[in-house]
Structures are given as structure tokens and as C-alpha cells.
Amino acid sequence: MQERLRTDLRVQAWLRRCSVGGLMATVARKGDESAGALFLKVNRFRAGCEVFSGATRPDGQAAWLRATGPAPVSETDADAYLARQSRYDPDLWIVEIEDPKGIFALGEPLLDA
């Protein structure tokens, strides 16, 4: 099984990756530096928002789940989902990514729910 990276390092990598790709990304919520869950909120504005939750494949490799379902949701719905999750897990991290052109890509596998 692969050793997990600290969450703060994963967040910094996402911020850098978005910056290099021409996307604006910010830390909307800072959680536990070593082991907090990571959520990515991708705001495509008129096309809606998607929220991705970090997951682990059975082989130990990093993956993502589409936390708000298969279709984009409104920003209000995405924020409400993340607020509920933060009540359950006060250590979670949220990275918000602005993607008005629809160019964002995860880079790791997306698991079926």
C-alpha cells in the first residue's frame, strides 16, 4: 500500500497545478495539515459546480468521487453540501477552483459511486 501524502502538501500541489493551468484556485477551508479529507469544488459558473472528494482505490492509489452526484449542481447546493460535510468532519480541506472555460481535469481516476 502506498504511503499517503500530507493533506497540506496535496493542497499546495493542487494550487500550483491550477496556477500553471491558468485556473484560479483558493483554499476556502483549511483543515488538519497531515490527515484532513480533501474536497475540490470546481465552479464552472453557468455550467454549475462539481464537488470531488478524495478517495482511495482498492490498490491504495489516489482517486476521486463525484461527491454531489453525476450532474453539476448550483453553487448554493455545492456550498450546502460542503457545509454539511464540515459539520461532520471539522478537519477537512476545501479547495475552490474557478473554471469558466471548462478546462479542469482531475488527473487521477474518478471512481463510480
User: Over the stretch 20-73, which tens digit does the pLDDT of each residue have?
Assistant: 999 999 999 999 988 889 999 999 999 999 999 988 888 888 899 999 999 999
| 71 DSSP β-pair partners | none
How, if at all, do strands 62-66 and 110-111 pair? parallel
pTM here is 0.91
Domains delineated in the chain = 25-100 (3.40.1530.20)
29-59: string of b/e by CB count within 10 Å (b at 16+)?
A: bebeeeebbbbbbbbbeeebbbbbbbbeeee
